[in-house]
Structure 1
Amino acid sequence: GSLRHNWVASFVKLPLQEQGASVVQVSDVSATAFVSFSVEQGLRLRSLTIDRPSVEVQLTCTSALSQLLLQLLVTIFKETLRTQLQVRMQQGLEKLVQRSFELFNDSVWKRLRVLVPKSVLAEMICFLDTSIP
């Protein structure tokens, strides 16, 4: 995905104010999740990790000097930006998955445990465990 921004920048030590636009593209995001599934607890998220994404920032400034200075700053802080994106995406995805599992466990799994014998549920979980890599 990409984000487009219009902005105004003021440089503290230079008598320079610049306007421009930027496009930030985030790509190559991959996530790995380890999940447990048991008759007693239902679905549980054991761990989730997200690799650091690729980030490209394209700046459009009205002067070449500003373009050069801002591009230098972007280059310096690019790794920090990638790390922050990774952390925020991981936190958000963990919350989303945990909440989804809680809803499933509360609305579906509890009912199944009442309606279906425990041995059948255990066999179903074993089947899923052997069928899903």
Structure 2
Amino acid sequence: MVANKYQTGFDQPILVAMYLDKKLSGITAVQTLSHLDRRTDSKDKTYILDFVNDPALILQAFSTYYEDAHIETESDLDLVTKQVDKLDAAGIYSRADVEQFWDKWVAPGARQSSYDSLLAVPVDRFKRR
């Protein structure tokens, strides 16, 4: 998801992926998406999975500032579903794990510390493989 910090000069060179769930346009689109272009060792590709923006409008925003702007491929909206299917098949987590995590996540006043330990269970299962 796009957090405001990605639009206001936040610098995170290892950022390789961004999931967009809000409309972007003009300079805001350019500023937000350009944060993926920070260089660092071992980072050779970046990915944007965009659920809401028209690719032509994003390209138009970039074309104002970059003559050679292009979109390599449009987002595959089935990508998330495919990834979930792979994770489900791996057996790293159970439906009960997901439900327990969700309950903590949406609880009023939820804090990360309340669900961090729930993530340890699937991580341990993965490590034992």
Do the structures match in fold with TM over 0.5?
Answer: no
Using the size of structure 1 for normalisation, the TM-score is: 0.26
Higher strand share: 1
Q: Which has the larger radius of gyration?
A: 1
